[in-house]
Amino acid sequence: MNVLLAVRMYIGKMIQDSGPGMKVLLMDRETIGIISVAYAQSEILQKEVYLFEQIDKSGQGPNMKHMKCVVFLRPTQENIQLLSAELKAPRYGVYYIYFSGIISKAAIKVLAESDESEVVREIQEFYADFFAISPHLFTLNLEKPIVGMEWNQSSLQRTVQGITGLLLALKKNPTIRYQGFSTLARRLAENIRDTMVKESSLFHFQRGDTVPLLLILDRRCDPITPLLNQWTYQAMVHELLTIKNNRVSLIGVPGAPKDMSEVLLSAEQDDFYSNNMYLNFGDIGQTIKSLMDEFQTKAKSHQKVESIADMKAFVENYPQFKKMSGTVTKHVTLVGELSRLVTQHNLLEVSEAEQELACQEEHSQSLQKIRRLLSSDKVRDLDAARLVLLYGIRYNKHSNNDVAGLTESLRRRGTPDKFVEAVEAMVRYANSGDTSSSSMLTTKDVTKITDKIFKGLKGIENVFTQHTTVLKDIIDNLIKGRLTEDTYPAVGGEPLSRVQDVIIFIIGGVTHEEGLAVHQLCRSNSGVRIALGVFELSLKRLTDVPKYLIGLTTLHHSADVCEVDKFDNTAVLLRGTYWHKTHCFRNKLFEATPQTG
């Protein structure tokens, strides 16, 4: 159940089906990102794709009838109109059109009527309608899906399309369960089920002894995890530098090479990153040293060019040597910058204070440490606010708590109002005991959750990296059949069965720590395969978490970001080698099922 492989296979088949010859790839704003996350540009170039265009910026280009146009678009009304205009005045010899989701008959009719030159060779639905960050992790890159405690309607529609696209890509017809307290989760689950019923001809996959499961969770079930600093390589790069579609900007990073303003961080393209992305930061130094030692050994061997044989060997090995040189420079630069930021912002001491709040019962000691950190200029406003939030959650009911005093300290240090307001909002919610809305966790619910989270942290030797997420507990209980139907009801009242393939979607964002937990579970449970999805990977503006928890304002996400197993990858195809101008319809449905090794 490899979501990254699903996207890569779709892209590869698009290009392969167009046959040999020079090609242009015509995309929209979203499909550009979907492809760039899954494929490096150098890989695409090797497949005879020499030109890349964005459909809303391509109308004035020159005619190149010798080139084939491979079109990959989301089936939106805007894209249909733009593609229709392109077909009315075609600039390329032939067009192979692929949509990332289900396309309506009306849209096909519009395109058919626009194809007066009969340049379209085929139209197909390839359900790569999501950003595959890693084999087990996908995102939809939605920035403002929730307003207050209600869905933004267009975001709800996009979320349904993305998840149903994933189900079709993975060939799954799942039971759908959701977190019972969340009206947001229930509405999403019901909308997905309605789409599956409406498009039942596409979801004809037979179920075996084990039924696939789509589990929809709400971020409010675990407000703690996003408030803790994370210490694995991938998580730190995203938290401190930001990963957007597997790319990291190094603009403004001291000592970064001038020709390296942006670097690619992809487990598919970078073996070092693939092997070390989940490694603790404390262990990265040794792996970087080993990488440099290997590079220096190879560099010395390249200095000995004394014969024709040496020259031949140098030319043959130069591409690999150059690639390794780039890998070394990239990771040395990244690790060096992470180290600088950890020192500059006093993150080790901040993280220690976070873990003491979680692991110990020393209220007085924790309070003194937080006060001292709040008075330090080295501590970022973000970290200061997170400490006070954790303190408020942990000690809100303590007789001697000083949430008010810490909040005032935030104001005195000049902390932005949005951070201070987030703390105050969390405290008001925790004190309210409001149980009037089924979409909100009660104070009692929050206490149960946080007690479990904090208990899970006790007795851990390495308190910086061994936090256990609520998501891991949920998955463990799911595997053991302990998720009750009352707490996690099924849409339509479907009977529950043993699970093997699980797709989890979390409303409100996910952290890389949870991505790591899924990775570890996939590796340890040979009988269970898991894919994890979100609006956007990693809630970096973590003080927005409490705002979401109590429904005060729009949920904001950061600029984005975030292994195994075989699967059958099925696409429902529409062969459009001919058009019927007045009555367009799906002329033939059939399955193309490429196999993975």
Q: Please check whether residues 9 and 43 belong to one and the same domain.
A: yes
pTM value is 0.81
pLDDT of residue 503: 95
> Cα separation of 541 and 383, whole Å?
11
Question: To which H or E segment does residue 547 belong?
Answer: helix 544-550
Over 50: is that where the pLDDT of 135 sits? yes
SS3 track for 382-433: HHHHHHHHHHHHHHCCCCCCCHHHHHHHHHHCCCCHHHHHHHHHHHHHHHHC
State the amino acid at position 58 in one-letter form: S
Angle at Cα 232 formed by Cα 327 and Cα 416, nearest 5°?
A: 105
CA atoms within 13 A on the CB side of 303: 6
Domain boundary among 321, 344, 367: 344
Q: Check residues 490 and 220 and name the one with the higher pLDDT.
A: 490
568 alpha-carbon distance from chain centroid: 22
Of the candidates 76, 2, 105, 265, the residue with the CA atom closest to the CA atom of residue 10:
2
Domain boundary among 393, 422, 457: 457
Note whether residue 482 is domain-resident: yes
Q: For residue 4, what is the DSSP state? A: H
Spell out a b/e string for 81-100, using b for 16 or more CB atoms within 10 Å of the CB, else e.
ebbbebbeebbbbbbbbbbb
Query: What is the average pLDDT across 235-250?
Result: 88
> Cα separation of 157 and 140, whole Å?
12
Q: Please check whether residues 176 and 263 belong to one and the same domain.
A: no
Q: Please check whether residues 479 and 577 belong to one and the same domain.
A: no
Q: Please check whether residues 539 and 577 belong to one and the same domain.
A: no
pLDDT of residue 594: 36
pLDDT tens string 319-362: 666 777 788 888 888 988 998 999 999 999 999 888 888 766 78
pLDDT of residue 519: 87
pLDDT tens string 366-418: 999 999 999 999 999 999 999 998 898 888 888 898 989 999 999 999 999 88
Note whether residue 228 is domain-resident: no
Interhelix angle for 417-432 vs 443-457, to 10°?
Answer: 110
Over 70: is that where the pLDDT of 436 sits? no
Q: Please check whether residues 295 and 357 belong to one and the same domain.
A: no
Note whether residue 564 is domain-resident: no
Q: Of the given ranges (258-262, 317-321, 425-429, 530-534), which has the lowest mean pLDDT?
A: 317-321
Domain that holds residue 528: 136-222+469-550
Q: Please check whether residues 546 and 476 belong to one and the same domain.
A: yes
Query: What is the average pLDDT across 10-27?
Result: 94
pLDDT tens string 26-51: 999 999 999 999 988 888 999 999 99
Q: Please check whether residues 389 and 308 belong to one and the same domain.
A: no
Query: What is the average pLDDT across 544-567?
Result: 31
Which structure tokens are listed for 419? 């951070």
Domain count for the chain, please give it: 4
Q: Please check whether residues 13 and 121 belong to one and the same domain.
A: yes
Q: Please check whether residues 22 and 120 belong to one and the same domain.
A: yes
State the amino acid at position 520 in one-letter form: Q
Q: Please check whether residues 45 and 61 belong to one and the same domain.
A: yes
Rg (CA), the chain: 26
